Amino acid sequence: MVAGGVSGVNLAQYVLLCVLTLTPPKSNINPRETFQHPMLDNQRSRVTRIFPGIHYAWIIIAIAGFMHMAGGSVRQAFGVLIVPLQQDMGWSPASISLGYALASIVGAVLAPLSGMATDRFGPRKVMIAGIFFFFGGAIITGAASEVWHLWISYGIFLGVAQACFSVPILTAANTWFRTRLGFGVGLLQAAHGLGPAIMAVFLSALIAALTWKTAFWLIGVSGSIAMIGLMLFFRNDPSHVGLRPYGTPSNEKAPKKSNPDEARQRAKVFLMSMQKTNAFWQLVVVHFFGCVGHAIVIIYVIPIAVAAGVNVVSAAGILSTLMGVSVLTRFLTPVVADYLGAKRAMATMFVLQGLPVLMLFWTHELWQFYLFAVIFGVGYGGEGSAFPIINRQYFGRGPMGRSFGWQQAGAGTGMAVGAWIGGVFYVMSGSYDITIILSVAMSLTGAAVILTMPTTARLLIPNWEDSLSPNLQPGTTRPVGTGG
């Protein structure tokens, strides 16, 4: 039996079924099973008119995907900035990359708080706050005249924005899907990879045609306006528009809407139950190792290529290529993880992320860098995209904001370490050799930790709701584990 209600099909058929139908099996699932209430009927009617024939979960994924692309791409394409800032401002790579490291640290520290805010206030309000920080960070970055200005604008403002985007987006996806979460998350993660792929080339072209200052002003204004517009269509929960999560069985009793105090109690008890498991903390550690491994590459592959004689625009294309290739495995890995189990899929991708980095020791020509980008992009894309799936398989369908927050804290810390330490080792040794070895070691260590984790075939906390007050025990969390 495959999680999500699909049985008796092989993996290829399952993926094709997801792509072609976008609807749950009609025998026992009604994706538009609704709550009955006059006010919700009006909301539901308006949604149906605007998006006829489409479950609103897919609209949420589209909006969240664009938020990933617009809000996170500037940070992920940071490597494009290093050479222009060196040449224009005379700042060292270590001092420039400290801005990225600070953004990652701030995002890591605030990620658990973002998870708490998401569980309490809902993803929409938290993301709106993130848009304002994104706007401020981009505008101030464009006005920077001292390196410490970059640390504040990029490090603090965009770091806060990152925390306000990453956790709510994953939480919303988890809330809107009962089945085929892997497919929904795959689309979301694909957008997360496509954004930096486009942004790396776009930002490099803007800098070449205009200046890096003007480029940031344009991106800050246009991106913020677009994201604010999309928030008009975003809804935190299916019940807010009179719907149920995608793939809810038609015979399942609708859960009672809880008041804020009840929601906070559920979130608190759920987090305490998760934190009693080793897997909860292992996922934080795994996120750290994986992000150190790829942060080193995405931040320093452009300086490494430029040092080898590649021009800046072509070097930006290397980053764009690996981001573009990652789109495929960002999409496929969650789908495969949903079908076979996330543990083996994640371990495989960590290995595929780590080993290709060794190629950088022998890469000197432009075509070799592009070949590296293609091979590395496969593992890089799949390294982090299955985390929402393994969370569902381990912990079920509870309020996941705090869980994602802790894991994003591990990820942000890893990104900060990877971004900063590469510059430090370069200053110390005059080369990136030690940094390359560290990248490989971190990814392979992450794979080793994953292999020590429990099977995903069963829930780790199936009875967490027993710790709630009797009136808060709807019995809606049931086993969804799969694979090994």
**CA-CA distance, 103 to 105, in Å (whole number)?**
5
For residue 171, the cross-strand partners are none
Q: In this structure, what is the dihedral angle of CA atoms 47, 53, 59, 62, given to the nearest 10 degrees? A: -150
Residue 295 CA to residue 292 CA, distance in Å, equals: 5
Tokens standing for residue 263: 């929601």
Residues 6+ apart with CB under 8 A from 401: 114, 115, 116, 117, 118, 119, 123, 167, 168, 171, 267
Cβ contact 58:22 at 8 Å: yes
The arithmetic mean of pLDDT across residues 327-346, rounded, is 87
3-state helix, strand, coil split of the chain in percent (to 5) is 75, 0, 25
Share of the chain above pLDDT 70, in %: 81
pTM over 0.85: no
What is the Cα–Cα distance from 348 to 255, expressed in whole angstroms? Answer: 38
Q: How far apart are CA 257 and CA 278, in angstroms?
A: 31
Q: Is 174 within 8 Å of 392 (Cβ atoms)?
A: yes
Mean pLDDT of 94-117: 82
For the residues 342-352, what does the mean pLDDT come to? 93
Tokens for 144, please give them.
């920077």
Find the mean pLDDT for residues 60-81. 77
pLDDT of residue 470: 60
Q: How far is Cα of residue 38 from the mean position of the Cα atoms in its chain?
A: 36
pLDDT higher than threshold 90 for residue 349: yes
Residue 292 has pLDDT above 50, yes or no: yes
H helix count then E strand count, the chain:
18, 0
Q: How confident is the model at residue 41 (pLDDT cuts 50, 70, 90)?
A: very low
Give the integer Cα–Cα distance in Å for 402 and 170: 11
pLDDT (mean) for 336-340: 84
- Do residues 159 and 110 lie in contact, with contact meaning Cβ atoms separated by under 8 Å? yes
The CA–CA distances, whole Å, from 279 to 222, 265, 407 equal 41, 22, 11
Res. 450: pLDDT tops 90: yes
Q: Poorest-confidence range of 13-27, 84-98, 234-248? A: 13-27
Q: Which of 24, 17, 3 is nearest to 484 (CA)?
A: 3
Question: Cα dihedral sign for 247, 251, 252, 254?
Answer: positive
What is residue 458's three-state secondary structure?
Answer: coil
3-state class (DSSP) for residue 2: strand
Mean pLDDT of 66-87: 75
Q: What letter represents residue 305's amino acid?
A: A
Helix (H, G, I), strand (E, B) or coil at 276: coil
Looking at residue 25, what is its pLDDT? 37
191 versus 9: which is more confidently predicted?
191
**CA quadruple 43, 475, 343, 442: dihedral sign:** positive
pLDDT in tens, 45-70: 555 555 556 778 888 888 888 887 77
Q: What is the C-alpha separation between 418 and 185, in angstroms, rounded?
A: 25
Share of residues in the chain with pLDDT > 90 (%): 18
All structural domains of the chain: 55-244+260-472 (1.20.1250.20)
Indicate if the pLDDT at residue 18 is higher than 70.
no
Which among 42-56, 74-88, 168-182, 382-396 has the top mean pLDDT? 382-396
